[in-house]
Structure 1
Amino acid sequence: MKLWVIVAVGLLIHLVFFFSVFEVFFATPLVTDLTPHKSPLPPPAKRLVFIVADGLRADKILQIQPDGKSAAPFLSIEQQPFCADLQGKEVVFDTVFNESQYTWSWDTPKFLAKVTGGNQDRMFSDKYPGHMKYLAGINAKDMDTWVFDEFQKLFLEAKEDTTLQSKLSNERILFFLHLGGLDHSGYIVRPSSPSYLEHIRFVDDGVQKLVSTMEQHYGSDGKTAYVFTSDHGMTDWGAHGDGTADETLTPLIVWGPGLRKPSTETTKYADGLSEAWGLQDIRRTDINQASMAGLLAALVGIPFPKNAVLPMPDNVFDVSDEEMAQMLYANLQQLLAQVQGMREERETRSIKFAFTPFQPLSAGTLEDIKDRISRQLASKQFKEAIQECQQSISLALRGIRYYTTYDRNHLWFAVVSGYVGWMVYLVSLMFEENDVSASMPYPAQLSRRYKAGIIFFFLLLAVITFVVLFVQHTVWTQYIYVLLPYPIWLAVFDVYRQMLVFSGSLKPLLPYIALTFLGLQAGVMGFYYKQLMVLPILCFAAWPWLSKQDLLDKGIMIQWSASCVAMGVFALIPTGTRELQFNLVVIGGVLAIIVAFYVMRSFANRQLARRKQFLIYGFQILMMALAIFIMRHTAALAANDKRTPLVSQILSWIIFILAIVEPFLVTTDIRCRLFAVALAWMGPYILLGISYPFFNTLYQ
């Protein structure tokens, strides 16, 4: 088989299995046609203001600053209850907005469009103007100013518009404000900077004015609930998407009718967060962020989202036992309906003898639970009903988890077997030209029968698997993930001679296989403990002195080892920084250009490069110089709250795209190709690598 075909097939296989990760671990089946459930009692609040400060770190708004004051005086803990999310990184909004009587939203253009669902007459959404989004150098406060101004404009219009005034006077209405400025600010100036804290004070002031407008419009009737939170935090260097505490801890400050007031705490929290934030005397309530949908629904009395995966956080409420029991029972009914719908949907499309239901929640058990709680509510045994609901909710969550991951094992097995088969096939190809393989004494007729039998066996398995998937009405993507291993393993058995040679030669290769496995594990662990990467780097530094001493020039070996040790130093440096060191990046870029000229000179002396390649190298160096200028110019503009010119953005993308293409234009000589790759990627590194903590420590 030609090399380009193997590479193309390999890329396709890896692309397919890359998308399988989302199917295996992140797919959440949605059950339709479920009956909505809500408490029959009047809700604590008539209306809800839901504010999400995008990218706001919990510690930056909650902790006491060195001057003894809060960064957000109005949203301070002494005034409002506090809940911090310690787990999830996603908020399951589900149908909270759809179930409301009316929703007004000021947000990015993508969000509410996904959940409106034909309810445009009840959901009114304004989006950020295009020039306020994702442009370097823009004043991040402008994004939040627009949201606050639009909110104020709504109530000014209501004074003249009787139709709008009528809508605003309804119950079960939501106001959703998405403040994207802090997220943008964190990317530019970092969350530990004075500018970020100043932005928090700006948001705090905006929220205070917002609350004043609400209370004035509704005459301080005590029926407005407020929820202030964030979707995620941010690292010290302005990134998010990982699992560190700085990224996953988000503030949740709620106040209004039905919500508990601040109280003191006598016990110590084991995580040390309260002490670090100077809040050790304040009672803390930690919830999972996916419980937000239940919290919003319970506050204003709308049906609980039909596909919400977690219940409402009952520990933030201050209501009577009867109200709590009815809320929890409605929430439980929603979760049990989801379990029942998942079971029925799975049972309908499964082969009867192969279906295994979640035994603790059979159809009879579901009815028994609901009947028992209904009797307790009817006899006013509210405390008993609360306890029963809480236990049953835990059981329902286990059931939802069971059916959500029902297909995970067989998908996981299919993907792993496909990967293993592809690796075995590639190893087998390495022995295709082996003389031992060619001389193995197998009769031609037996070989053809063997191949025919293997092909028939795999074809039969594939047909059976396809029929099973078809009968179960499986989504089309799972056909690909489950059936793909069959042709891969068929190709493996087609090169059985090489497999036999490989298995016969396996014993002397065992040390190398073990080292490869350990190296892969060390690489994976390096994602969690970066310092572990020092060990394999040092092994690389010592490698030529142990096995290549007679083959390599001593000067090259010294350069190799010195480079490895220098790279190992970076693995020991803490991640993140508080300051932006643009000038250091400029210095690094200039040094890279000087080194590039030095290497080009050595290439010319050794006649390793032709004129065409020197032109390519020169062009790459020019791109590096251009990247240095763009980076420094953009930094200067951002410092003065000015937008990056469009030409700089276009040139930056051109530099990035050319970095992928340029190395393929030089000769395949390993030294020339590696040099081209290094030059090509220096431009993107200069544009992106604008800070590093080691240098920051030298400046402090």
Structure 2
Amino acid sequence: MLKSSVPMGVLVVGVVFHMIYVLSIFDIYFKSPVVANVPLTPILAEYPPPAKRLVVFVADGCRADRFFELNDSFSVFAHAKLRSTNLSHLIPTEFWNHKEPSRVPFLRHIIQRKGSWGISHTGVPTESRPGHVAMFAGMYEDVSAVTRGWQSNPVDFDSIFNQSNSSFLFGSPDIVPMFAKNMPHVHEHHYSSEEEDFTKDAAELDTWVYSQVYDLFSSAKTNTSLKAQLLQDKTIIFCHFLGIDSNGHAHRPMSREYLANVALVDRLTEGIQNLIEDFYKDDLTSYIFTADHGMSFQGSHGDGAPANTRTPLIVWGAGITPPMQAAASRTTDFDLDVPTHSHDEIYAQLKAQKEQELRAYQDWNLEHFVRKDVLQADLAPLAAALLGMPYPRNSVGVLPFTYLKQGLYRARAVAFNARALYTHAYQKMISKKKATLKFLFRSFPRLEECAVLLGSIEKAFGSKAYHDIEQSSQVVIAHALAGLKFYQQYDWFVLFGIITSGYLCWMAVVYIAVSNWPFSIKNLVYFPARATEPKHLDTTLVLLCIASATLMFLYNHEAPIMYYAYLIFPVVFSRFLFRQTTLTHLVPTSPKLVWVVISLELIAWGYFKRQVFSLLCVLMCVYTYLQHQSSTATTLWLASLLSLSIFPLIPIDIGDILSLVLSGGGTVLVCGVFLKQKFYPQVDNKAFLILGGSLVSLSGTMYALQHPELSAAPWIALNWALCIGSVCRLVIAMQSSTCLKTRLVEIMLAMAPLYLLLSISYEVWFYLVFCMTLLFWVEYETSQPRCNGETFNDIRIALWYLMLFKLSFFGTGNVASMSSFEISSTFRFVTVFSPFIMGALLVFKILLPMAVVTAAFDVLTTLRGDSPYRLGLIVVLLSNVLAVQFFYLVQYEGSWKEIGNSISNFGIVNAMILFTPILLFLTRLCLHYQVKRRLD
């Protein structure tokens, strides 16, 4: 038995360590914004608000460019849908303009004749729940919360619906119930989740909303109790149109279905407005039309790409300023009116969206009207101000007051917005002060100025200096938001130091473990006899003092339990490191390690530019060519690497190309048969039957999905059966095959059906070339002579594994594709919206190539007589260099794309570190279970 069977204790510690430390960025940069016991700031009790009721239309997943562009393509299909649902009376519209053909003629008429418009810039993640929380609660949800559920928010929060007298919500089961929880005055109506079927016409979800609103007002004519509720002031009606988002996922945003759904929502919005105006007849209704997020050309969302963060915003009705003509001097860009504190952040987004802005100016033909952009959280205070309600607790939204008509009420609304934000920040300061020793507390000086400024603002009302009031209020808002940020990041430096020391100490422990292999995990906690020597007692006392001081700091700050978990690791690791007789051996001196550092930096660069992995493949070829003599194994290895280098250069958004999937799957089948006949005769023939069946099943599934009159259910059941059968076949095949190389081929063939069924374009071709490259890598490495004590050679193998491991992801995707799931491939297994099943399938698709490269790594290290666990630790050590680098590169300011990508980079590198030992354990179990190992 080889030493590779040594228990993987250090790797297990590494898994636990990274599972905990990957959460640190959320505690440092993105803590939950909810502050307990924030008092409400009553607004304008003595002044009547401009509106008695508010109607909010949210077109889920609607891109700004597809909405505003001068193009009426596919509108005729929206009309056909209205006819088929007995809503043909909504088709004729007086706002059709042949000179400006638009798929949203009614809302375009509103922009030009009645209301104000702009772009609402969303936060990240660009998902439905965080978007709606921002719009209605005025706060950006804890970024980590998106991983803890889609249908409900993990924390309680205040919203405009809570503050209303009566609210009526219609739409998706994933959204509307969230705002009606424990609120008897909030009445929600939603369809069943089974209706969110991607094989059906999603536009029916939107016509359902219209029908529900129609029934509401029809019932009110005879139901006096309902009528009384509707006639109350501070009434909100929320219409959530999900069809655009569903059709975008199923067909992509350039499809007929998506664009026709945009046109349909315009007609439904006009119809609902007419219903409301006919019922009330008092012109005291305000309307807001917007979207929670956009959608990428791949039919996904989640990341901070401009296509996902730019959404339309149109506001009209009671209290709203009419259209304003833009300055005649604007000939190359829009005339933006953003006088609020949100100005800087909005312009930071626009600076990163120059290309989108240029196209908007060219394609929208709206440059003649002043544009009023907002941040998505600014919509909550706008809605509250229109109805005279208190601003939601914990709202960080800044009232976009230029949407309101100028005068006393607007100035009062702005001043109360400033007071509410100051109260929020002050409450945050009080809670932090109570949790801190008096002599350690640091105050935020600018926050102390707010009370004086608010007093001067009140005095200014006497002179009716409304403009000055609005400007002074923005100063208070700036101080208040800065104070909130200051206290939100109050413990930032302490946490930063703990996390950094934890990573550095862990890397040192891993290096010692590799240098002194085999290494027992007991060494981390064992007290040797020499620990009682004076010098060891001194270091122990020093560590105890530092740990005690830090623990006292955390305790006094009422730190959450995770903070203590972060601290445990550097304390335990440091104690182990200081017990070493010397630490000088921690610094390697080989000049060749310069190339390792360069390679790691290129890998880090590859997270931003995936094309860099093509360069890394070429560098691996150059190294191989310079270091080794020519042989068949070397030639095949070089040729496969060069072939693999092509894939990072291919764009990831080329769309669905079924012919590529089928041809790639067919080629995998042919190559598998060839390998069996020539090199691996023990490979099970059933693998080829399952793979061939997957090709047939994929064709049948896609044909059924493209023809709604056919049922895809039998094909979907067959897809599940084939994938489960492939795994079962692998388990059986492992009992008969005894050759490690044959087992590796079996694993590759067993993973192929699932990967094939989850592919939409060239991914199968990548999988084929990737698997062939791994087979040639095994042949190449095992053909080289083995020399004991070749430390650098071990590092090289670990580095190449790390490169191939990263390439298994970046060969077909990038950071953005990870954070915005491409769910169309999951329709082969599930067509009803199910985020957990769909997410699991997409994670499996990402993990399959990683599992294959890990299996190849295990085979070659075993055949070379190395310990896979030891080389796996080297991989972990190299990966931690990347983790620390990305930890320092996490951004919490700038464009949403930069913020989102920086979070994703850190999360992905840590996730890959987590999966490395897990996959290594699973592949070893699969490769070596009940087998007398053969080294041939």
Partners in 2 of 1:59 and 1:659 — Cα distance?
45
Provide, for residues 207-242 of structure 1, a one-character-per-residue CA deviation record: whole Å limited to 9, x for no partner: 1211111111112x2111111111111111111112
Residue in structure 2 matching 1:75, options 92, 107, 111: 107
Structure 1 residues 161 and 627: alpha-carbon distance in aligned structure 2, compared to 1, 3 A threshold? farther
Question: What is the distance in 1 between the residues matched to 2:175 and 2:484?
Answer: 26
Q: How much does 1:57 deviate?
A: 0.9
Query: 2:12 is matched with which residue?
Result: 8
* Residue matched to 1:412: 496
Aligned residue type for 1:75:
L
Q: Which residue does 1:593 correspond to in 2?
A: 669
Deviation string, structure 1 residues 455-499 (Cα, Å, up to 9, x no partner): 4443443343333322221122222123332223334445565x5
Q: Which residue of 1 aligns with 2:68?
A: 62
Report SS of the residue matched to 2:680: helix
Are positions 1:295 and 2:382 aligned together?
Answer: yes
- Give the fraction of aligned pairs with identical amino acids, expressed as a percent: 25
| Contact 1:663 1:673 (C-alpha < 8 Å) held by counterparts | no
Report the CA distance shift for 1:66/1:107 in structure 2 as closer, same or farther (over 3 A): closer
User: For residue 288 of structure 2, what is the aligned residue in structure 1?
Assistant: 227
- For residues 201 and 711 of structure 2, the distance between their equivalents in structure 1, rounded to whole angstroms, comes to 8
Q: Partners of 2:204 and 2:311 in 1: how far apart?
A: 23
Structure 1 residue 533, shift from structure 2 partner: 3.1
Matched, 1:338 2:338: no
Secondary structure in structure 2 of the residue aligned to 1:228? strand
Q: Does 1:46 align with 2:130?
A: no
Q: Which residue of 2 aligns with 1:458?
A: 543
1:597-618 Cα offsets, whole Å, 9 max, x none, are: 222333326xxxxx5xx23xx5
> Which residue, out of 347, 355, 359, partners 2:445?
359
* Distance in 1 (alpha carbons) for counterparts of 2:385 and 2:371: 20
Query: Among residues 645, 654, 661, which one is paired with 2:713 in the alignment?
Result: 645
The corresponding residue for 1:438 is none
**Superposed, which structure 2 residues align to 1:550-699 within 5 Å?**
553=631, 555-577=632-654, 580-604=656-680, 611=682, 614-615=683-684, 618=685, 620-641=687-708, 644-645=712-713, 648=716, 651-652=719-720, 655=723, 671-672=741-742, 674-691=744-761
Segments of structure 2 that go 5 or more residues without pairing to the other structure are: 74-99, 125-129, 138-158, 334-353, 520-527, 766-936
- CA distance in 2: counterparts of 1:132 and 1:591, whole angstroms: 38
| Mean Cα deviation higher: 445-454 or 178-187 | 445-454
Q: For the residues of structure 1 that align with 2:718 and 2:11, how far apart are their CA atoms?
A: 32
The match for 1:421 is 505
> For each residue in 1:314-334, what CA deviation from the matched residue of structure 2 results, as whole angstroms up to 9, or x when unmatched?
2322x1231221010110011
Summarize the Cα distance change of 1:594–1:694 in structure 2 as closer, same or farther, 3 Å threshold: closer
How many equivalent pairs are there?
Answer: 663
Is the 1:232–1:250 Cα contact (8 Å) retained in structure 2?
yes
1:292-333 Cα distance to aligned partner (Å, 9 max, x none) = 21121112211111211221112322x123122101011001
1:96 pairs, out of 154, 157, 160, with 160
Give the counterpart letter for 1:328 in structure 2. V
Classify 1:513/1:541 alpha carbon distance in 2 versus 1 (closer, same or farther; 3 Å). closer
Amino acid at match of 1:33: N
Q: Spell out the pairing of 1:442-521 with structure 2 (5 A cutoff).
A: 446=530, 449=533, 451-494=536-579, 499-503=583-587, 505-508=588-591, 510-521=593-604
1:45 touches 1:258 (CA, 8 Å); kept in 2? Answer: yes
Amino acid at match of 1:97: F
Q: How far apart, in 2, do the equivalents of 1:321 and 1:660 lie?
A: 73
After TM superposition, the score normalised by the length of structure 1 is 0.87
> Structure 1 residue 285 and structure 2 residue 372: aligned?
yes
**Structure 1 residues 692 and 377: alpha-carbon distance in aligned structure 2, compared to 1, 3 A threshold:** farther
Change (3 A) 1:297 1:549: farther
- Which residue of structure 1 lines up, in the alignment, with residue 476 of structure 2? 392
**Contact kept in structure 2, 1:576 and 1:692, CA below 8 Å:** no
What CA deviation, in whole Å up to 9, does each residue of 1:653-689 have, x standing for no partner? 9838977995998589774465445434433332232
CA distance in 1, matches of 2:731, 2:506: 28
Select the residue among 288, 309, 316 that pairs with 1:248.
309
CA contact (8 A) 1:24 1:412 kept: yes
Contact 1:182 1:196 in 2 (8 A): yes
Post-superposition Cα deviations, 1:528-569, rounded to whole Å, max 9, x if no partner, equal xx333332222123332122335xx2x333333333333333
- 1:225–1:254 contact (8 Å) kept in structure 2: yes
Structure 2 counterpart SS, 1:202: helix
Distance 1:104 1:419 in 2: 51
**How far, CA to CA, are the matches of 2:549 and 2:381 in structure 1?**
44
Q: Is the 8 A contact 1:235 1:576 kept in 2?
A: no
The 1:42–1:31 alpha-carbon spacing in structure 2 relative to 1, beyond 3 Å, is same
Find the counterpart in structure 2 of residue 439 from structure 1. Answer: none
> Cα offset for 1:173?
0.9
CA distance in 2, matches of 1:337, 1:646: 59
8 Å contact 1:72–1:201 — kept in the other structure? yes
1:153 aligns with 2:153: no
**CA distance in structure 1 between the aligned counterparts of 2:728 and 2:285, rounded to whole angstroms:** 55
* Alpha-carbon distance in 2 for matches of 1:289, 1:253: 13
2:661·2:764 contact (CA, 8 Å) conserved in 1?
no
Cα drift, residue 640 of structure 1: 2.3
In the other structure, the counterpart of 1:441 is: none
Residue 188 of structure 2 aligns to a residue whose secondary structure is strand
Distance 1:629 1:323, change over 3 A: farther
- The CA deviation at 1:165 is 0.5
Shift of 1:447: 6.1
- What is the distance in 1 between the residues matched to 2:672 and 2:307? 39
2:324 partner SS: coil
The C-alpha deviation readout for 1:257-276, integer Å capped at 9, x for no partner, is 22222333332326314324
The answer on 1:371 being equivalent to 2:376 is no
What secondary structure is seen at the aligned counterpart in 2 of 1:679? helix
CA separation in 1, counterparts of 2:488 and 2:676? 58
Check if 1:122 corresponds to 2:185.
Answer: yes
**Contact 1:98-1:117 at 8 Å conserved across structures:** no
Deviation at residue 650 of structure 1 after TM alignment: 8.5
Q: Residues 180 and 188 of structure 2 are in contact (CA less than 8 Å); yes or no, is this contact kept in structure 1?
A: no
The one-letter code sitting in structure 2 at the alignment partner of 1:28 is: S
The aligned counterpart of 1:201 is 263
1:170 aligns with 2:176: no
Instruction: Provide structure 1 residue ranges, at least 5 long, that are not aligned to the other structure.
Output: 436-443, 606-610, 696-700
Shift in alpha-carbon separation, 1:202–1:113, aligned structure 2, 3 A = closer
CA root-mean-square deviation: 3.1
Query: Do the aligned partners of 1:227 and 1:255 also contact (CA within 8 Å) in 2?
Result: yes
Structure 2 Cα separation of the partners of residues 630 and 409 of structure 1? 56
Indicate whether 1:262 and 2:294 are aligned: no
Letter in 2 for 1:70: S
Question: Secondary structure of 1:69's match?
Answer: coil
Mapped pair 1:381 → 2:465: yes
Q: SS of the counterpart of 2:239?
A: strand
Displacement of 1:99 in angstroms is 0.6
Looking at structure 1, the residues matched to 562 and 194 of structure 2 have their Cα atoms a distance apart, in angstroms, of 38
Code of the residue aligned with 2:482 in structure 1: it is R
2:304 alignment partner, SS class: coil
- How far did 1:66 drift? 7.6
